[in-house]
Amino acid sequence: MRRKLAAGNWKMNGTGHDLSELAALARAHPDPACDILICPPATLLHRAGETTADTAIAIGAQECHAEESGAHTGDISAQMILDAGARHVILGHSERRQNHGESDEDVRAKARTAMSAGLTTIICVGETLAERDAANTLDIIGGQLSGSVPDTATGENLVIAYEPIWAIGTGRVPDPAQIGEVHGFIRSRLERRFGAGVGRSVRLLYGGSVKPDNAADIFAVPDVDGALVGGASLKAADFSPIITALEASG
């Protein structure tokens, strides 16, 4: 039985002032029927951990380096993330793949390091609109999965987020059949590669313009175990009804 996960990605948003949103979220969900994760910018990891100590909210990072330490100005390591109090990291987000030229091999190397440090990795995959229009979606997702996910993956240290690039921050959302097709495909690929036990225990999140008013429809799709939410995770008043919809999805 997979426990559902509502994950928020604050991206490059948030300063100390916004920690009040985390406190409000924790107050609204003292005993949630799903896991709740917020990934603030690296500058807030430690304070976010303090704000959410003894609450049901977990904290994660948005990125980490593939090496354990060294001459990498501006980067942060898996150990630094753990030291700041976080236990999760998002890897291979499309904004990292596009803006920082990250390849599947880069994501796989980072994931291997993060997993061996004890972090749970949320690895993002997703197609462009041109790739979908050319009927290449499943080929693209299959390639990203085999290229980005290391052999060390387990049901505990891996979460996959399917995030169609054309749905991120645009207000456009695939229809339930399109989401179901991709999630079913990801599930079958994981089962084929890692066996049924691991393949069935990895949580699959949908991400891309999830809002309070579309969350219930998305969570009703088979093999959707939660969401990775950008814009609507910044305010407790927006994220809270998404969490409630996930809890209600059973």
- Active site (catalytic) residues: 93, 163
Q: Does 164 bind ligand PEP (CB under 6 A)?
A: no
Number of residues that bind ligand PEP (CB under 6 A): 13
Candidate residues 32, 92, 207, 226; the one interacting with ligand PEP per rule CB under 6 A: 207
Report the alpha-carbon distance of residue 106 to residue 34 in Å, rounded: 31
Under rule CB under 6 A, residue 169 binds ligand PEP: yes
Instruction: Please list every residue from 216 through 245 that binds ligand PEP, using CB under 6 A.
Output: 228-232
Q: Which amino acid is at 230?
A: G
210 binds ligand PEP (CB under 6 A): yes
In the bound state with ligand PEP, the residue whose beta carbon lies nearer, of 157 and 209, is 209
Indicate the residue whose CB is closest to ligand PEP: 230
Other Cβ atoms within 10 Å of 100 Cβ, number: 10
**Residue 63, token pair as written in the block:** 């990125």
- Could you give the C-alpha distances from 165 to 57, 94, 146, 240, in angstroms and in order? 27, 7, 19, 24
Q: How far is the CB of 195 from ligand PEP (least distance, A)?
A: 29
Rounded Cα distance between 71 and 44, Å, is 23
Judged by CB under 6 A, which of 209, 240, 244, 249 binds ligand PEP? 209
| Integer Cα distance of 92 and 101 in angstroms | 10
Dump the DSSP string for 55-96.
SSEEEEES---SSSSSS-TT---HHHHHHTT--EEEES-HHH
Nearer to ligand PEP, 194 or 236 (CB): 236
Which residues form the interface with ligand PEP (CB under 6 A)? 9, 163, 168-169, 207-210, 228-232
